[in-house]
Structure 1
């Protein structure tokens, strides 16, 4: 295993789980971030090397040159794995240049960007017969009439470019309940120079959210896949997974696999679906083009995505696999789940009893690992510092 793995973004548990999934196999892991501050993922005992790079957005050209200079010094091309959407965008923009020095699953420049852009994804899904929530573009004729007749209130104002929107507003979307709130949301997006679309809210509690997690080989064929069901998100109703279980749903494969294959996808992708509580139809919500929040859950149930990626790109593809039974195991991000539970109970969407009962399932922790505890202590220190500062400011 002469090929190292350069892992971009270690200040979040996605980077941490990626490092662990590779390190347990003795693969040399290189944790890259723009700052040591809060990069608790790199504290893992499975981190072989730590590097501080120029900021990917503020100094993009220097960042790309940094990656290329590092790769040139290696005896074999490193594998490049981004663990944040912003890194995915930068890699896609410079894909042809980086592929001269790195092993990267995707070979089509621009494909990541297409799939991450909500408006383009919506069009591609429709073209291939995949259900998507009804959508109205801001510049359409009779905009407000279409909102009233087709979308109806409440509805969501959703960015076409999620990373930029989240960086600006610290949320994934705006939920609006009337015309006045809609106009205010549109003005906020316009003032920030961000493009948005308006979508119908698919009915159903958060447990109607599902994922299709798949690896596609260099022939763009699904070789490994697992399906999951979300139970709790943070922020609630329109946030990221904090408590999600593995659950076999064949229909998700039947919809998701052909779509990704037709797109010519290579490597890992996660499609988020929502099941309409009234019709039972699955609607495609978004596609995650990087290692997922649920990565440790996938690993615990037998699908080690970073390792599968590494082995195929270095010439030793792993056998196909599909989890077609239920394990009852759940992914759990304890800190944010506590915040979510508080809000679910406050809004009467869950009871204390329901939450208590859920805590006894076997878990795949976002951060904690008995064999590798240092990142959890580093993370606890970060959270403790934030709480202290908040109290001190008062």
Structure 2
């Protein structure tokens, strides 16, 4: 296959998973990073080339120029696969330029950003009849009265732009229990020049979080899909998946496929839902418009999303496929799951026995692979270095 696959970001296991998913099929994979530090994904035996680019935020035009110059030197246009929200944002911003020399599934400039932005997503979902958590915007009249009457405490202060918020505060949301905490959270966001909204917390433990994972072709039709159930996340209650299993939930297809097709989405997307433990209703929480944390689990159950993307964009689409039975396979990011387990037990949300009983399932690991061990060892080396730094600072 002449078309290379350019992977943006190998300093996290999402990029590593994309490299492996493509490399096993003999595709030339190119890892692009702005630094060599902690890029354990590029240590994979499936990584064919390694490039160091200008920083996508410090020098965005230089970054885009770097990508275009590389693509123009190739015999065939490469497939571009961003593996972090920040990369998705810049790809969306410069989509018209990048489409001149790269193969990219999305053709509607601005749609990625619209779906990543929590406020515009909320409005779009409501327009399409999809249930979303009750929300109050900071600039609304009678803001505090609406929070106390409609949202009620505790509630969450949620960023409009998650990537910037997480980069600043190292968390996805602020959970507040009263007006005083709400005011402090809003002040923090304002000081950081970050826009936020306030939402009701949908009742239910973390295992009430579900996902609809799908690929939509260039006609914006779902061709490949499955659904999953989260069991644990980190940070607990409002974090990223660390222990998640494939679980067939037909209702999520009915909601998710209809929504994505109606907005004209193309490529891979993952919609996160939460099931209200009191009503059983599914609420749309957010959408990931790039390869996600448990991509390796999707691969293990038979949906190689990076390869599906590659094949369609290079004119050799794979047959449609849906995983409509329960495979019992779980994604496991052991390092952060151990941190999560400690907090779940400490807060009384899980018992040690419940945790141990959950672990006896076939697993798709975030990083470790017996056939490709170098990234795992590199990750452990990076982790040991961070721990040593913390110890020496004391």
TM-score (norm 1): 1.00
Q: Look up the match of 1:261.
A: 261
Shift of the alpha carbon at 1:360?
A: 1.2
User: What is the match of residue 217 of structure 2?
Assistant: 217
Q: CA deviation at 1:185?
A: 0.3
The CA distance in 2 between the partners of 1:393 and 1:168, in whole Å, is 22
- Alpha-carbon shift at residue 357 of structure 1 (Å): 1.0
Aligned counterparts of 1:326 and 1:20: Cα–Cα separation in 2: 24
Name 1:252's counterpart in structure 2: 252
Q: What's the CA shift string for 1:127-186, capped at 9, x where partnerless?
A: 011000000000000101100100000000001011111111111110000000000000
Aligned ranges for residues 307-346 of structure 1 at < 5 Å? 307-346=307-346
Counterpart Cα distance in 1 of 2:125 and 2:229: 21
Task: Report the Cα distance in structure 1 between the residues aligned to 2:244 and 2:54, rounded to whole angstroms.
Answer: 35
Deviations along 1:2-39, one digit per CA (max 9) or x if unpaired, are 00000000000000000000000000000000011000
Give the aligned CA root-mean-square deviation in angstroms: 0.4
2:91 equivalent in structure 1:
91
Partner of 1:54: 54
Q: Distance in 2 between matches of 1:176 and 1:254?
A: 33
Superposition pairs of residues 301-312 of structure 1, within 5 angstroms: 301-312=301-312
Corresponding residue for residue 239 of structure 1: 239
In structure 2, the residue matched to 1:386 is 386
Confirm or deny that 1:368 pairs with 2:332: no
Which secondary structure does the structure 2 equivalent of 1:386 belong to?
helix
1:57 aligns to what SS in structure 2?
A: coil
Query: What does the per-residue CA deviation read over 1:264-296, in whole Å, with 9 as the maximum and x for residues that have no partner?
Result: 000000000000000000000000000011100
Distance 1:226 1:294 in 2: 12
**In structure 2, the residue corresponding to 1:133 is in which secondary structure?**
coil
The equivalences for 1:29-178 within 5 A come to 29-178=29-178
* Distance (whole Å) between structure 1 residues aligned to residue 43 and residue 121 of structure 2: 36
What is the number of equivalent residue pairs in this alignment?
394
Superposed CA offset, 1:81-103 (max 9, x none): 00000000000000001000000
Q: Distance in 1 between matches of 2:216 and 2:346?
A: 42
SS in 1 for 2:50: strand
Q: Distance in 1 between matches of 2:393 and 2:144?
A: 44
Partners of 2:99 and 2:393 lie apart in 1 by 48
The aligned residue for residue 8 of structure 1 is 8
1:350: which partner in 2? Answer: 350
Structure 2: any 5+ residue segments left out of the alignment?
none
Q: Deviations over 1:288-332 (max 9, x none)?
A: 000011100000000000000000000000000000100111000
Q: Which residue of 2 aligns with 1:181?
A: 181
Name the SS of the counterpart of 2:242 in structure 1: strand
SS in 2 for 1:372: coil
Q: Secondary structure at the match of 1:115?
A: helix
Deviates more, 1:384-393 or 1:199-208: 384-393
State how far apart, in whole Å, the 2-side matches of 1:325 and 1:8 are: 33
TM-superposed deviation, 1:228: 0.3
The CA deviation at 1:392 is 2.0
Paired position in structure 2 for 1:275 = 275
Provide the secondary structure at the position in 2 that maps to 1:108: coil
Instruction: State the alpha-carbon separation in 1 of the partners of residues 77 and 385 from structure 2.
Output: 39
Q: TM-score, normalized by length of structure 2? A: 1.00
Separation (CA, whole Å) in 2 of partners of 1:386 and 1:79? 34
Secondary structure, aligned partner of 2:228: strand
Question: How far apart in 2 are the matches of 1:164 and 1:37?
Answer: 21
